[in-house]
Amino acid sequence: MRVGFVQYCPAFLQMETNRQVLAALLEGIEADLLVLPELCLTGYFFTSSEEAHAAAESIPDGPTTAWLTTLSQRTGAILVAGLPERDGAQYYNSAVVVGPRGYIGHYRKVHLFYEEKLHFQAGNLGFPVFTVTDRSGETYKLGVMICFDWYFPEAARTLALQGADVIAHPANLVRPDCPRAMPIRALENHVFTITANRYGSESNGRETLSFIGQSLICDPMGRILAQAPKVGDAVEVVEIHPAEARNRRITQHNDLFADRRPEHYQL
Ligand SMILES: NC(=O)CCCC(N)=O
């Protein structure tokens, strides 16, 4: 199965421009799963909640889910992409999972970072895992977390305990540490992880954030299978076998999850 990330620099609130840039980057790309960044068409650093809410849309009825469906039909890939979501009077920093036949599911970022807390509610869908099928007909379990969720081991662990083989991780990373941590998130949960970050910088009129690029794909042994530079567009696709995530036997006496002792873990 071919999986990959799409790293690029969105133009703030220039959704049509960003759709064209992403479509061009994916021209000729064939994959089973592609992960795009957090807030991938809008950009990140909103100047106000009004601005964030004006850019938000419903899932699955909004335009971004529809656009991703056409992109999925063109590439054959399942796509995971971040967008601001409106659900009635509530707003979330979300990621949608789309295949060639349309909407599969979505996730609402549980751990909001910095000024996201001014604009969005914390996610209320938990950490759902989706059973999806690649182009060969092989099914696997796909979990989703967004950016700052990586900082909380419980996020990836909850997805892995629910059977996720692959964790899609749309991101807008600004701190330097996530690329060092993701190999360990993959290793400690024995899963594949695909972190799709953006690069460039954005100002909200009061301060400027610089995004660190370095998108990366990790395997269940904590090896980095692909990594993008700090700056520049990058679409990297690698071959993986999701079933490798299901054998969590470490020695003939040790299984990673069977050996857990939650009765001793403080809540
Ligand atoms: N957009 C974000 O959640 C940034 C999280 C902090 C970091 N790791 O950069």
* Residue ranges of the chain with per-residue pLDDT less than 70: none
Taking a C-beta distance cutoff of 8 angstroms, is the pair 212, 159 a contact? no
**In angstroms, rounded to a whole number, what is the distance separating the alpha carbons of residues 87 and 156?**
25
- Is the CB of residue 199 below 6 angstroms from any atom belonging to ligand 1? no
The pLDDT of residue 209: 98
Residue 109 annotated among the catalytic residues of the structure: yes
Residue 266 has what pLDDT? 83
- Please give the single-letter amino acid code of residue 200: G
Residue 38: active-site member: yes
Round to whole Å and give the CA distance between 120 and 112. 8
pTM over 0.95: yes
What is the pLDDT at residue 107?
99
Distance 206 CA to ligand 1 centre (A): 18
Atom of ligand 1 at shortest distance to CA of 38? 1
Q: Give the pLDDT confidence score for residue 132 in this predicted structure.
A: 98
Amino acid identity of residue 144, one-letter, is: V
Q: Report which secondary-structure segment, H or E, holds 24.
A: helix 15-25
How many residues are present in the chain?
267
Q: Which of 29, 80, 88 is nearest to 58 (CA)?
A: 88
CA-closest candidate to residue 82, choices 57, 117, 114, 102: 57
> How many Å lie between the centroid of ligand 1 and the Cα of residue 175?
6
pLDDT at residue number 68: 98
Q: Report the C-alpha gap between 70 and 98 in whole angstroms.
A: 10
Nearest to 159, CA basis, from 132, 192, 183: 192
How deeply is 232 buried, as exposed, middle or buried, from its count of CB atoms within 10 A (0-12, 13-18, 19+)?
Answer: exposed
Ligand 1 atom closest to residue 212's alpha carbon, by position in its atom list: 9
Query: Is 1 within 8 Å of 30 (Cβ atoms)?
Result: no
C-alpha of residue 146 to centroid of ligand 1, in Å: 9
Cβ of residue 6 lying under 6 Å from some atom of ligand 1:
no
Residue 175 CB–ligand 1 contact under 6 Å: yes
Cα 46 to averaged position of ligand 1 atoms, centre (Å): 15
